[in-house]
Amino acid sequence: MLPCKHREEVIVQVQPTIDLLTDLDETHPQVLIEHKIQPEDYKDGLVFRSAVESIRGRFVASSMTAREGVVVEILANLKGRSAIADYEHNRGQQRFDFTLVIERDPNYFAALEVKGGEGNSINISERPIWAQEFAVWCHLDGAIVNQPSQGAHSIINRLTNEMVRRNKLVDVAFFKDSLCGTRLRPCPKLYN
Q: Please report whether residue 192 resides in a domain.
A: no
Query: Which pTM value belongs to this model?
Result: 0.69
Residue type present at position 160 = T
Q: How many structural domains comprise the chain?
A: 1
74 exposure class (CB count in 10 Å sphere: 0-12, 13-18, 19+): middle
Q: Please report whether residue 187 resides in a domain.
A: no
From the first residue on, what is the mean pLDDT of each consecutive set of 10 residues in the chain (192 residues)?
72 90 94 94 90 80 73 92 91 84 82 78 82 89 74 86 89 85 75 58
Among residues 102, 106, 113, which one has the least CA distance to residue 71? 113
pLDDT of residue 60: 66
Q: Please report whether residue 75 resides in a domain.
A: yes
DSSP 88: E
Q: Please report whether residue 182 resides in a domain.
A: no
pLDDT of residue 29: 94
Owning domain of residue 33: 8-176
Q: Please report whether residue 189 resides in a domain.
A: no
Q: Please report whether residue 185 resides in a domain.
A: no
Q: Please report whether residue 184 resides in a domain.
A: no
pLDDT of residue 177: 81
Q: Please report whether residue 16 resides in a domain.
A: yes
